[in-house]
Amino acid sequence: MAKNTPVTRGKLRILGVLTVLILLMVFALLHYRSKTVVLELALYSGNSWGVPQNFAYAIYDKAVEMFEQRFADEGYTVVLRTGTMYKDYSEWFAQLVLKGKEPDIFLIIEEDFTTYAAIGLLERLDKYIEKSDLSPDVFFRNALEAGQYQGSQYSLPIYIVPSFLIVNNDLLDSLDLTIDLDNWTWEQFYHLCEQITDDLDGDGAPDQFGVEGYDWHHVFYTNDTSLFNADSTQSGFNYQRFSETLHFLKKMHALNQGVIVREGTFEDGRVGFKTFNLSEFRVYGSYPYRILRYEDFDWEALPFPHGPHGSSKSKLYTVQLGMSSRSRHKDVAFEFLKFISSDKDFQYQIWEYSNMLPVNRAVFDHIYKSGIMQRDGMRPLDREFIESVIANSYIDPDFKKYPVIDEYITQRIFTIIAQDEDISKGVGSLDQMINELLEDEYSVQTGKR
């Protein structure tokens, strides 16, 4: 029988130590796995307002970094699912939903929101908000309402992009024109555009214009409140006000004599006004980027003019984040939603890492009080003005078929104006068309006719 030599005993001790270490590692790994919660977050690249964003995911990388540091003791981890463009995101996400593999939390395309809430895909957040220290007062009201469906909160806003007009002051000054903002109506706007419009080269067609990017949405919402009824099952506009909208659009269309104002004409100094949004303002209102487009003349931001029965309004773009109702980590997912939408330290990073505006009102206050805009070389953007724009903004209807219906409305309005159709008949045909399209939408949702 072999003796237990010193060498053999040494090997046994080493083997024993290795066995203990392996067991400790296994127990540690099992403990880590039982403690760690891994969330998946789905993102798209791009946006609905058409302004390129360099390093599109940088702000989300920062959010994950800060969140994981904040909850390091709990071991929370967030994994990003990226690489899908904005235009492809709905289809890509729908495929994940059909397979039951959607992430715990995800960005929501505007027109998908109502469908996701209605079919139960989105977790209702009311009970989580009630149990937390999250106050609605943290947010801009319109941004929070964009995530509500049938009186409940189904998503939280991350950031917003308000829209407005900009004016070429030098062009107006050269024509000895002034703007009376205390009486900023359609009529004043029309008369300014009429005096700006000109045939500079004498070929019989105008090549200097009143406004670029101005369409029926900017006119309708400054004279009426809504296209549809409260539950988006029928048209809800006022006949008289829509008639006023079409009359005004006809007048504006006639100024250009059928000439289409091409994108970029404002930058050439040959347009008085242009529709704009805050992302564009941040890009082209900051040095050195403003020298690329808007350095040859003085320009500033303005509200939209209003109709005889309305007030100045413009579209508010919001980015919303929701939680899957099938997530296995709902409490942690809500912690991330709350963090990214309301945490002051992170919301400040939105100004640093993107061209958008934080949705947290306290951070908004800090930006204006601290002189950050001047540090960033931005043109001044009056605080009272931008607060008014946000407060008086509207959110596009968010049911699934709205983009299709919107396109039909746009085409029909163009036909009424271009072919000089009777206004009253045109309004009636719009009402009928909208109701037929909404009836088809309702039939698809309910399976009823």
pLDDT tens-place string over residues 302-358: 999 999 999 999 999 999 999 999 999 999 999 999 999 999 999 999 988 888 999
Question: According to the model, what pLDDT value does residue 48 have?
Answer: 86
| Res. 446: pLDDT tops 60 | no
Name the nearest CA neighbour of 303 among 390, 234, 380.
390
List, for residues 170-206, the tens digit of each pLDDT value: 999 999 999 999 999 999 999 999 999 999 999 999 9
Q: Does pLDDT of 254 surpass 70? A: yes
Tokens of 57: 């995911």
Whether residue 257 contacts residue 199, with contact meaning beta carbons closer than 8 Å, is answered with: no
Instruction: Provide the percentage of residues in the chain whose pLDDT is more than 70.
Output: 86
β-strand 316-323 against 37-45: which pairing, if any? unpaired
Which residue do the tokens 């950031």 mark? 159
At 173 the pLDDT is: 97
- Measured CA to CA, the distance from residue 227 to residue 434 in angstroms comes to 9
Taking the C-alpha atoms of residue 26 and residue 435, their distance in angstroms, rounded to an integer, is 64
Domains of the chain are: 34-162+316-394 (3.40.190.10), 163-314+397-446 (3.40.190.10)
What's the pLDDT tens digit per position in 121-143? 999 999 999 999 999 999 999 99
- Tokens 């040959």 correspond to what residue? 270
The band of 400, judged by pLDDT with boundaries at 50, 70 and 90, is confident
pLDDT at position 373: 67
Whether the per-residue pLDDT at 160 is higher than 70: the answer is: yes
Q: Which residues contact 208 (CB under 8 A, 6 or more apart)?
A: 196, 197, 198, 199, 200, 270, 271
Please give the Cα distance from 277 to 316 (Å, whole number).
9
pLDDT tens digit string along 59-88? 999 999 999 999 999 999 999 999 899 999
* Rounded distance between C-alpha atoms, residue 41 and residue 38, angstroms: 10
Average pLDDT over residues 406-414: 95
Report whether 152 contacts 124 (CB < 8 A): yes
The answer to whether 373 and 381 are in contact (CB under 8 A) is yes
Residue 33 is predicted with a pLDDT of 45
What are the structure tokens assigned to 426, written together? 């045109």
Q: Residue 355 has what pLDDT?
A: 86
**How many alpha carbons lie under 13 Å from residue 193 in its C-beta half-sphere?**
23
In the predicted model, is pLDDT for residue 368 greater than 50? yes
Whose CA is closest to 307, among 129, 184, 142?
184
* Weakest-pLDDT range from 50-54, 241-245, 326-330: 50-54
What's the mean pLDDT in 95-117?
94
For tokens 């189904």, the residue is 154
| pTM of the predicted protein model | 0.85
